[in-house]
Amino acid sequence: MKRMLLILTAAVIALCMGTAAAEGPVYHVGICQLVQHVALDAATQGFQDALKDKLGDAVVFDLQNASGDTNTCSTIMNNFVSDNVDLIMANATPALQAAVAATGSIPILGTSVTNYASALDIEDKDGTTGMNVSGTSDLAPLDRQAEMLKELFPDAKKVGILWCSAEPNSKYQADHIREYLEALGYECTDYTFADSNDVASVTQNACDGSDVLYIPTDNTAASCTEAIRNVVEPAGIPAVVGEEGICRGCGVATLSISYYDLGYATGEMAYEILVERADISTMPVRFAPNVTKEYNAELSGLLGVTIPEDYTAIE
């Protein structure tokens, strides 16, 4: 009887071990999101959904939110390194910069990052970084955004470009769209705020000196849309903005990408790295496949902005 029990026990153990082996490894992925707002939330969700669709229960996420604090990003990334996660997803530029400072070996995928070369202070090597970093860019075509502003406000003279001086990718967008806007005949002025504390006062200055505002895909602006709207609406100054979440809060129109789709594409890249063993150092940064003309029906109505028929109202 004892011998029979030992045989049965050994068989059960062997079966369990065989099942575990058949299931394969479980991947541990650390996610650091800079701050909570609609665009970044959507990117994180898309990333998780993509990996869950491909891996099911074979992936475990450690999702951390830095609440807009770059020092917290660094702490989170150092913890991921200590935990020896298999991959890090950095949602927004400061999170990406903190990840790169924390590890040179764990694969890092960024998302909601506009320009990787400027964010990492490296040369653009045909879209690759040459290091343990790749990801997706949230850059919508800036020339087409400038054309959108011209389409909606052909008689405007002065454009105020409103952005956060602490965000390198916002500077990148501001510098480049200024060239396009000036080529279209606009006089452009930068209005920069350091953080959320001076958003309202800087926005008021921008409204006082502008006929229309342009706001790029800026995380601080995205977190402060209510404060911006509280200034632009009574001032009667419309804003063309870089993405849907900001437009929903304080803009009249945008040429926007889908941050969910962007995050999903980042998750597909993660699968290629984790399972297919793709070399991240040679993976080109990818871009959103589509952009959409969208508008804020309520605010454009309040400000008397006429929207062409080929724009889609944001729900």
111 and 181 within one domain: no
* Whole-number Å distance between alpha carbons of 258 and 162: 22
Alpha carbon 253 to its chain's center: 19
Which value, to the nearest 10 degrees, does the dihedral of the CA atoms of residues 108, 112, 117, 120 take?
-50
Asked if residue 18 belongs to a domain, the reply is no
Taken in order 120, 122, 125, 131, the sign of the CA dihedral is: negative
Which is it for the CA torsion 234, 238, 244, 245, positive or negative? negative
pLDDT band with cut points at 50, 70 and 90 for residue 106: very high
- From CA 291, how far away is CA 308, in angstroms rounded? 16
Measured distance CA(57)–CA(76) in Å, rounded? 24
Q: Are residues 126 and 270 in the same domain?
A: yes
pLDDT at residue 19 tops 80 = no
Co-location of 71 and 127 in the same domain? yes
CB 253 within 8 A of CB 37: no
Q: pLDDT tens, 152-211?
A: 999 999 999 999 999 888 999 999 999 999 999 999 999 999 989 999 999 999 999 999
Please say whether the beta carbons of 53 and 95 come within 8 A.
no
Q: So what's the pLDDT on residue 289?
A: 76
Same domain, 50 and 121: yes
What pLDDT is attached to residue 16? 43
Range(s) of the domain holding residue 41: 26-138+259-284
DSSP category for residue 21 = H
Residues 198 and 268 in one domain: no
| Domain co-membership, 279 together with 232 | no
Environment class of 315 (CB within 10 Å of its CB; exposed 0-12, middle 13-18, buried 19+): exposed
In a domain, 2, yes or no: no
Residue 251, helix vs strand vs coil: coil
**Are residues 160 and 131 both part of a single domain?**
no
pLDDT tens for 54-78 read: 999 999 999 999 999 999 999 999 9
Q: How confident is the model at residue 125 (pLDDT cuts 50, 70, 90)?
A: low
Report the pLDDT value the prediction gives residue 175, as an integer from 0 to 100. 95
- Residue 55, SS3 per DSSP: helix
Residues 171 and 186 in one domain: yes
- Asked if residue 80 belongs to a domain, the reply is yes
Q: Which long-range contacts (CB under 8 A, 24 or more apart) does 299-305 make?
A: 299/229, 299/233, 299/238, 299/250, 299/251, 299/252, 300/238, 300/252, 300/253, 302/233, 303/233, 303/236, 303/237, 303/238, 303/252, 305/152, 305/238, 305/252, 305/253
What's the pTM value of the predicted model, to 2 decimals?
0.78
